[in-house]
Amino acid sequence: MTVRTAGPADLNAFVASAAALFAEDGGTRDPHMDQSWPARHGHEYYGAAIADPDVLCLVAVDGDEVVGHLLGRLKGPNPVRPSVVGAELESVRVADDHRGSGVGGELNAAFVAWAGERGVTEVTVHAFASNTAAIRFYESHGYVPGSLQLRLPVG
């Protein structure tokens, strides 16, 4: 298993992994999630991310197969919290048959190291409250709850 920076040749596999994340995470937890978004916009969005020096796109590779991905980006200044230099772990997924193997931890560690090299003092990640496995994963890697978003469906 290898974790490495994604390049243009990885774009199709990166989009496929992101699409799987949309389907299995958002698609099962948010009835408003547009699961077809990666098919329509993924190549443009993730292609731009792969080329952006303020974004880290990683792939986890087992042989010739991409079995996971991570996308994290530097965040701009926050005038309300001026002492924080932030980065956001935007998207991470490991294929079912590779979960529990340490791949997610390797992806996370590589992102945190990259962020630290850029002066980041705080990394954030969002998870669905019902995704207890993801929350356990993040907490096992030192993340702590920072805020809670509540929703009220209207109508």
User: What digits encode the pLDDT tens for the residues 90-108?
Assistant: 999 999 999 999 999 999 9
User: What digits encode the pLDDT tens for the residues 67-77?
Assistant: 999 999 999 98
**Crossing angle for the helix pair 37-51 and 11-21, nearest 10 degrees?**
130
Number of domains in the chain: 1
Prediction pTM value = 0.94
With respect to residue 153, please indicate whether it lies within any of the assigned structural domains. no
With respect to residue 145, please indicate whether it lies within any of the assigned structural domains. no
Residues with Cβ within 8 Å of residue 145, at least 6 apart in sequence: none
Give the residue numbers spanning the domain of 53: 2-140
With respect to residue 16, please indicate whether it lies within any of the assigned structural domains. yes
User: What is the phi/psi pair of residue 62, to 5°?
Assistant: -120, 105
With respect to residue 85, please indicate whether it lies within any of the assigned structural domains. yes
CATH number of the CATH domain containing 38: 3.40.630.30
- Cβ pair 138, 125 in contact under 8 A: yes
Q: How far apart are CA 146 and CA 134, in angstroms?
A: 15
